[in-house]
């Protein structure tokens, strides 16, 4: 280990102090954004209620979440507000239900989904496919409902919200509503692959392991194929923002994300390493594959290094603040992962994706190095961890000196 001279040590301490002051400023700004977002979160749901039962002339509240719809003096149906978890967090659907208990129309009243995925849902006329279903049906995507390719979690959340709304209306009508069963624990190929990739990374990090380079490429390609192209489950800033805002989905139906984020935090805390980005991030693997083709090299221009690092951190900070203020994690995610793995996105995203992939042939991981918002998040976690360890060591030394 190289010892620092007095001057170097002084510079290091000043840099560390400066980083911690910036860290405190970031925390304060995020708390302020969270408070502002909470105060702005009240959505007007009545336009969606009216749209769900357009033939109604007036609405009367039957419960806090169910409205009776009237045309003149005739009861023409009910509109219930059903909630569920989507990709970006809670979503609310206004569900128009006939007096017989059949869904007539479903309208998204409030949601926090990625705009591109909502376009996929609307283009597939998925909301129309829910019309005609009854509260007693299961609403299971993949069984009695077709999901939307590239927006599976959004379509499942909408289906669950529609089911919950139809059940609320049925209860008001006095229809027999069975207690919904406890959610099933979803453990399949993505979850198993994730645990396997964590295991490969742990095994390869052991000193006596001789095939670290081979194991890393196996892990990268496994992440690219399984977590990327097959299931489209890369870690995005949107999911981190979802947890920061306080949207904690049921672990039974979102086990993959709890395993992924929990595993990263656990390994980082114990080993001081980020297993995801370097070992099985699908988009990182895509860049490395392109780099292997073109012979990419590490490129870090000294004259722009500080600017590029600051830009990356500012972009990540702004994305988190935007998510907290608007309480919409989906709007804050500027990654282009979905553009590659599900071929969805705007024209700008496709152009940016093409530029990044071409650049990856010559520059090692350009997205990860200069643009990815997850890198500053990892740096912030490391800053916090090191600070806590320093405080703990100081406390120990103080106690020993007494």
pLDDT in tens, 241-300: 888 888 888 888 889 999 999 998 888 878 778 889 989 999 999 999 999 999 999 887
Q: Tell me what pLDDT residue 42 has.
A: 61
For residue 41, is it within any domain?
Answer: no
d(CA 109, CA 107): 6
pLDDT of residue 318: 93
Residue 330 lies in a domain: yes
Look at residue 190 in the predicted model and tell me its pLDDT. Answer: 94
The last residue of a domain, from among 172, 198, 213: 172
Residues 157, 233, single domain; the answer is: no
Predicted local distance difference test score (pLDDT) of residue 317? 94
Judge whether 241 lies within some domain. Answer: yes
pLDDT at 401: 64
What predicted TM-score, i.e. pTM, was given to this entire model? 0.78
Cα distances (Å, whole numbers) of residue 304 to 301, 361, 375: 6, 21, 18
> Exposed e or buried b for every residue in 179-190, given b needs 16+ CB within 10 A?
eeeeeeeeeeeb
Look up tokens 């299961």; give the residue.
Answer: 138
Same domain membership, residue 141 and residue 91:
yes
Note the pLDDT of residue 149: 57
Residues 198 and 328 in one domain: yes
**Alpha-carbon span 48 to 65, nearest angstrom:** 13
For position 362, what pLDDT does the model report? 95
Do 389 and 328 fall within a single domain? yes
**The pLDDT of residue 288:** 96
Same domain? 93 vs 234 = no
The answer to the question of residue 256 being in a domain is yes
Count of residues in the chain = 402
Task: Provide the 3-class DSSP secondary structure of residue 231.
Answer: coil
Domain residue limits at 334 = 186-397
Verify that 320 and 363 share a domain, yes or no.
yes
Structural domain tally of the chain?
Answer: 2
Q: Distance between CA atoms of 169 and 53, rounded to whole angstroms?
A: 13
Q: Is residue 234 included in any domain, yes or no?
A: yes
Co-location of 382 and 239 in the same domain? yes
Please tell me whether residues 153 and 71 are part of one structural domain: yes
Q: What tokens does 250 get?
A: 């049921």
Paired tokens of 80: 């219930």
Residues of the chain predicted below pLDDT 50? 1
Q: Are 197 and 218 in contact (CB under 8 A)?
A: no
CATH number at residue 103: 3.90.1010
Helix (H, G, I), strand (E, B) or coil at 80: strand
């Amino acid at each position: 280990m190289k010892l620092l001279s007095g001057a170097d040590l002084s510079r290091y301490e000043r840099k560390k102090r400066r980083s911690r002051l910036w860290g405190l400023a970031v925390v304060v700004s995020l708390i302020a954004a969270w408070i502002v977002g909470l105060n702005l979160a009240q959505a007007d749901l009545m336009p969606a209620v009216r749209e769900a039962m357009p033939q109604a002339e007036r609405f009367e509240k039957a419960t806090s979440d169910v409205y009776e719809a009237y045309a003149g003096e005739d009861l023409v149906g009910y509109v219930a507000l059903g909630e569920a978890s989507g990709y970006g967090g809670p979503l609310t659907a206004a569900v128009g239900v006939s007096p017989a208990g059949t869904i007539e129309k479903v309208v998204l009243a409030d949601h926090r989904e990625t705009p591109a995925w909502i376009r996929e849902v609307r283009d597939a006329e998925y909301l129309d496919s829910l019309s005609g279903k009854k509260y007693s049906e299961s609403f299971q995507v993949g069984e009695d409902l077709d999901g939307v390719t590239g927006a599976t979690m959004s379509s499942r959340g909408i289906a669950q919200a529609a089911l919950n709304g139809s059940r609320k209306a049925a209860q008001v009508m006095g229809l027999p509503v069975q207690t919904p069963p406890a959610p099933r624990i979803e453990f399949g190929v993505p979850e198993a692959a994730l645990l396997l990739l964590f295991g490969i990374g742990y095994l390869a990090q052991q000193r006596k392991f001789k095939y670290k380079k081979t194991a890393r490429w196996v892990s990268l390609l496994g992440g690219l194929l399984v977590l990327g192209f097959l299931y489209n489950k890369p870690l995005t800033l949107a999911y981190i923002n979802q947890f920061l805002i306080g949207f904690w989905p049921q672990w039974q139906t979102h086990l993959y994300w709890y395993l992924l984020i929990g595993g990263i935090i656990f390994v980082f805390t114990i080993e001081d390493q980020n297993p995801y980005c370097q070992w099985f991030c699908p988009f990182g693997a895509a860049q490395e594959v392109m780099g292997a083709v073109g012979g990419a090299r590490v490129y870090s221009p000294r004259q722009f290094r500080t600017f590029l690092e600051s830009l990356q951190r500012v972009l990540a900070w702004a994305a988190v603040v935007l998510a907290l203020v608007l309480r919409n994690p989906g709007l804050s995610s500027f990654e282009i992962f979905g553009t590659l793995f599900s071929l969805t996105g705007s024209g700008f995203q496709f152009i940016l994706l093409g530029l990044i992939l071409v650049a990856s042939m010559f520059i090692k991981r350009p997205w990860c190095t200069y643009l990815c918002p997850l890198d500053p998040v990892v740096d912030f976690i490391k800053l916090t961890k090191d600070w806590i360890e320093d405080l703990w060591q100081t406390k120990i030394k103080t106690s020993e000196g007494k």
